Amino acid sequence: MGAAYFYHLTRRPLEVTLPLLLERALGAGWRVAVRGSDAARLDWLDARLWAVPGESFLPHGRAGGPHDALQPVLLTTGAERPNGAVCVMAVDGAEVTAEEVQALERVCILFDGLDEAAKQRARAQWRTLTGAGCAAQYWAEDSGRWVKKAEA
């Protein structure tokens, strides 16, 4: 049974934080689906992931291509995981079900802490998932480090 990890972004934006989490997930041997709610926003994120600074290469692709099943990281607006992802990283308010959390290794919910609507959506997701019996952790940036603030 997996767990939902909530990441409250306050210091670094999504395009900086997401590559760090993706590298950790790939390092654990997981395939990942990055689920967004808007195709244009995922196109924007796709371009940012190709331009990640440093020496590492973050292999990924957009869903809908002929090689979806081969992608270690697949950016999608859908719930399907044709790449066999065992980790879903939900961004921009993308929905995740309790059944997914329980079936996957990990679900990460990243939300902009400077956007009140995003915080409210994340709080609602927390209540829904923990209310359904899912294990969950809430992480926030504190002085440049991630600190676990709550666990259910």
The pLDDT of residue 55 is 61
- When divided into structural domains, the chain yields a total of 1
The pLDDT of residue 108 is 98
Q: Identify the CATH number of the domain in which residue 63 sits.
A: 3.40.50.10110
3 state SS of 117: helix
How far CA 148 is from CA of 4, 39, 113, 116, 145, in Å, comes to 13, 31, 15, 21, 10
Question: What is the H or E stretch that residue 118 is in?
Answer: helix 116-131
> Quick check: pTM over 0.85?
yes
CA distance 135 to 34: 20
Per the structure, the complete domain to which residue 16 belongs is given by 3-151
- pLDDT tens, 95-149? 999 999 999 999 999 999 999 999 999 999 999 999 999 999 999 988 878 999 9
